[in-house]
Structures are given as structure tokens and as C-alpha cells.
Chain A
Amino acid sequence: MKMVKLQKKNLNAFLAGLEKFGDLHGPVRRDTNDFAFQKVDAPEQIAHDCLRTILPPKKYFTKPVDTMFTFSEAEGYRAPDKDLHTKIILFGVHPCDIHGIKILDLVFGGQYRDEYYFARRRNAIVVGLDCMPDEYCFCRSTGTDFTEDGFDLFLSDIGSSYLVRVGTSLGDDIVLETSTLFQEIGDTDRRAYKRRSAQRINSFEVEIHLEDLPEIMDLEYESRIWQELGDKCLSCGTCSMVCPTCYCYDVVDQLNLDAKSGSRLRRWDSCLFKDYALVAGGHNFRADRGSRIKNRYFHKQRGFVAQFGRPSCVGCGRCIVSCPAAISLVDVLTKLRSRGNE
């Protein structure tokens, strides 16, 4: 993989020079500890100390509320043309989130390709950025702490510079655009990178074992843990909204004032909502919260493995930090392993 070096002091100049590739988006501080990806007018607005945005980058590709098409007698069905074709540069995506995007690529691809998702994917340049884990990160356990693809450029902190990995031909074009800002890497840089990498690996405070988790989950299908979690869970939907790999949506038709034309919308949904599995006739396949929260864990850690060969959790820790009821995925999985069905 092509690698170059960018001095930190040149980062903003580099980002400012990318105008012709699209609008610059990056994490911006919302509150003391909160960040959100959003469009910035100038690179200075980007918060480089952001470890975790409230919502993951999925919001760019499958929006919280998204028009699937408009309908009217005169024009029939029409795909939304707005915002599918805006080019953006998404700066500051950490490895776990890049893996999150790669997982969504699997879901929205396949036999039936969601062209809305892929149109937006094609129009987004992903500039990754490495990070130092905090006490909630467990991407090392999920194998998503490092990524070899899924980005156009990836920046790793090596002191006063970034080591830049060039992931795509487009990424290379971007580098060439402002080539004067980049330098070749040397021996000290190589050493610095390895030091940084080792330091990062050693910084993980949380570790869980996922290898045989599907089997453990099957064993603990009837565990009392699920009921206990059900009592605690508020069904507030927060964990699903903030998860980089939760993709469920609900579909509603919205009417215009003529009550004839309108649009079909999809809106992020959550398997923790009561009516998620409620079918006509009033039968609910997961009527109690315990079975719903179990489903969330099963689908991520068990179902996804069967379907795509890997769990869909990328260890970003978002659901843990943002759960009002303080339910921690790490605790649950640890307990399942150690305690089980007593």
C-alpha cells in the first residue's frame, strides 16, 4: 500500500485544498463530551480529539428519515434526486466506523442492491483517522481496531506528522492534488508508527472473547440474564440509533396536501420497540422486552455470523456510553460466559 507522510501543521491546508472533491464533513464538538459528524465551513472547526460521535457515519448513507420515492398521478414513482449525488469528504473516521460501513455494504448489497445506499457511498470520500481507545472501546476484541480497506486515505498519528495510507486510486488523486504538502516516509517515521501501534494495542482496557460466542449464546438461550435485562431496558431505541451497524427501518407513506401524491419514507427502526415483530392478527413474536433485547444480541453476535461469517458489532462502545439504563454489552457478554443460566 502506498504510504506518505503529512505534517500535522499542514493538515488544515490539505483539507482546505480538497474543495473540488466535495463538501468537507468531520466531527464537530456539540457539548463538552459530545461530537457529531457534520459539514464544516473550515477545517479548523473539526474536533480532532473526538473519539466517538453521537451517531456513526451510517447517517450519511442511510439517513434517519429517508425518501424512498415520491409518487403522484402525473409522474408515477420517482427516485429522490436530491442529496443522492452530493459529493462529500468524510474526515476523521476511526477504524471501527470504517468496519461499520463495510458491514453495511454487505447488508445493502447482495442479491437486491439498495442503489440509494450505494449512490451515497460512491459519492463519499472516506478519510480515516487512528485513535486511542478509552474504557468503553473493545474493537480489539471484535477485530475491528485496524483496517486495511474501506478508506480512501487513512491517517495515523506519528508525533508531529501523520502517516498516510493511500487506499484507493481516488485517494491517490487527492494526495497528488496537493502533493507539495506530502513527504516520503523515512526510518524514524516507520519506528514512530510501530511505537504508536504497540502503544495503542496496549491501551485497551476491555477484552471480551467472541470466538465461540455463537455457541455460548445458543447455550444460554434460556438464560435468566435476558429477563433481567428486559426489566432494565427502557426500549428507548437509543442503542439502535447510535450503532454503526444497526440498519433496521420502518416504512411509511406520507401524503401531500392533495391527499393523493406523497412520498414513501423509511425511518430508522429498532428491534427493541414493542411492535417490531407484531403481525396482523395481534400476534407478537417478541412481546416482552427480554426477548427483544435477546434478539438484538443474537442478531449481532450470532445471526450475523451465520449470514456473513462475522459478528456485526464493531466494538465502538456507543451503545454502552449512550444507554440511559446503563446496560453494557461488554458486561452482558462477559456475564453470559461466566454466569449463564443459574
Chain B
Amino acid sequence: MAKPIVGIFGLTGCAGDQLVILNCEDELLDLAGALDIRSFHMAMSDNDEDCDLDIALVEGSVVQPEEVEMLERIRSRARLLIAIGTCAVWGGVQAMKNEEQREKLKRQVYGPKGKDFGIIPSQPLSSFVRVDYAISGCPIEKDQFLQAALSLIHGDLPVLPDYAVCTECKMRENSCLLLERGELCLGPITVAGCNARCPAYGQPCIGCRGPVEEANVASEVNLLREKGFTLVDIQNRLRTFGGQSEVMQVAPTERGR
């Protein structure tokens, strides 16, 4: 089988997902041998800006018109476009206050000089182009990325978890923070794959991997309300990473403080 031709791109984000790729220290050279990487601005010069790609891995969210163009260009070159990281999949932390005016934020930070900037609310790739596959995580998990890459090299589509963090949390036999300590844990509605990292460190899941498919947010909100959390606090947490996902748009019907 011919080596897949690959491009790795970054839009707006922290570059963490590209760094995860570079963090595959033990595997990087094998990986580079099995893939024909033509574009990876963060790690190489001599990038081919025109070739057709079998796989485009795109990190980061779209926050400005130029990025829409960039993304469309990548899409037109790529057979498979894979969104990597929560920014690319859900809009990322920068999508947190999308419902508040970005213009207002801009003025707050730049004052009047900022008025010419072209800014659009932070959005995931799928708002603009077809995304064939989404590997979420803030940042993506190294093992998951490697397995996905190996599947692609093998000629298959990757298999990713479609169940919640709680499942992995129980497999690890963590003490449940939601039930035992009454913490605001998003494990029940966040997609697994991190091996319930935060609960294993005694920290509640803050949902950095984004919502699980068919997340029952209404039930999660209810049970958190019953535990005494205010709607504002719950909303804040839901939208930290899942800001752009529809399921997280719980209506602010009450103002709890």
C-alpha cells in the first residue's frame, strides 16, 4: 500500500494537538516513515502548499475570515479531513463566550484601535466544511492519536470511544467525585478516551474532551442542581469546552447565585 500523503495544519488554538504529535517521541520516526508528511508548518520548512492530500489533520478553531479560506483550501486538497483537538471539534475554550458579543470583547482588550479586525465567533471546523473524522481532547490523547494514525496507515477508519468518561472512571475504580464529594463532575456527559484522567487525580472532569454522543445534559443539569450547584456555575462548566455544541446550550432560565 502506498504511504498516505499527510498534511498537519493549525488554525487558532494552543498548538497542543500538534505538540502531542511531536510528543510521540518514541514513535515519531516510525510514524514519519509510514506517512508521507508534506506539510507541517510547526515542525518543518519546505512545506508543499498545493499537493493533494490523503489525510489532512487540522487543529484549532476558526476565529477569523482568513482561516475560513485556509480551511476551505485544505478541504479541497484532502480526501479525508480529520479535526484534531477540542478547538477543531467543538470550538475550544475560545468559544466559551460566543453568545456574548465578540465586538465587546475586542473593545475590552484593544480599545478603539481594534475596530478593523476581522473576527468571527470561534467555531469548529464542521461549521464551515465537511469533517470526516473528529479526534477530540484538549489536547488529544497520544495513544488515541497513534492508534488512529495506525488504523489509517492500515487502511481503516479509526475507532474512537463513543461512551462517557464515567465508564473509564469505573474501570479504574476511582472514587466517584460526584457522589462521594459532591463535586461538579462532567464525567457522565463527556466523551471518554482520557482514561478518566482528572478523577484519577482527585479532580472533577471539566469536560475538556467535549460532549459524548447523545449526552443527556438535561439529566446532568438536574442532578447537579439537586446537589446545590447554581445554574450559572453549571452553565459555565458546560460551556468551558463544549461552548459550540448544541447540547450544551442549556437555557439560562434561572439566575442562581
Contact = CB atoms under 8 A, between A and B. Distances in A.
A289 B218 CA distance: 13
B246 interface: no
Nearest to B151: A255
Given A232-B219, A234-B164, A55 B147 contact: no
A257 B27 contact: yes
A338 interface: no
B44 interface: no
A91 B178 CA distance: 29
Nearest to A31: B175
A138 B212 CA distance: 33
Given A235-B164, A259-B154, A36 B219 contact: no
A324 B166 contact: yes
Contacts of A32: 180
B175 A54 contact: yes
A270 B163 contact: yes
B171 A268 contact: yes
Contact of B154 (A232, A255, A274, A326): A255
B171 A324 contact: no
Contacts of A257: 27, 30-31, 146, 150
Interface string A101-127: 000000000000000000000000000
A268 B189 CA distance: 18
A304 B171 CA distance: 24
A241 B173 CA distance: 10
Contacts of B173: 30, 36, 53-55
Interface in A37-72: 53-55, 64-65
Interface in A131-147: none
B223 A325 contact: yes
B43 interface: no
Interface string B147-181: 10011011000010011111100110111101110
Contacts of B212: 235
Nearest to A65: B171
Nearest to A38: B173
B34 A259 contact: yes
B187 interface: yes
Contact of A324 (B30, B34, B176, B214): B176
Given A254-B147, A257-B30, A273-B162, A241 B171 contact: yes
A234 B174 CA distance: 18
A275 interface: yes
A170 interface: no
Contacts of B219: 231-234, 325
Nearest to A63: B171
Interface in B105-160: 146-147, 150-151, 153-154, 159
Interface in B73-112: none
A237 B180 contact: no
B72 interface: no
Contacts of A259: 34, 150, 153-154
A30 B170 contact: no
B236 interface: no
B175 A274 contact: no
B176 to A, nearest CB: 6
A32 B175 CA distance: 9
B67 interface: no
Contact of B216 (A31, A64, A234, A256): A234
A259 B35 CA distance: 11
A30 B175 contact: yes
Interface string A245-261: 00000001011111110
Nearest to B146: A257
B180 A33 contact: yes
Given A236-B166, A274-B213, A322 B176 contact: yes
Interface of A: 30-34, 36, 53-55, 64-65, 231-238, 241-242, 252, 254-260, 262, 268, 270, 273-275, 289, 321-322, 324-326
Across the A-B interface, the 7 shortest Cβ-Cβ residue pairs: A237-B167, A31-B175, A241-B170, A236-B166, A64-B171, A255-B150, A234-B188
Given A34-B175, A324-B220, 7 more contacts: A55-B173, A232-B219, A259-B153, A274-B214, A324-B188, A324-B223, A325-B223
15 contacts: A30-B174, A31-B175, A34-B180, A54-B170, A54-B173, A54-B174, A231-B218, A236-B163, A236-B167, A237-B170, A238-B176, A241-B167, A255-B150, A255-B151, A325-B188
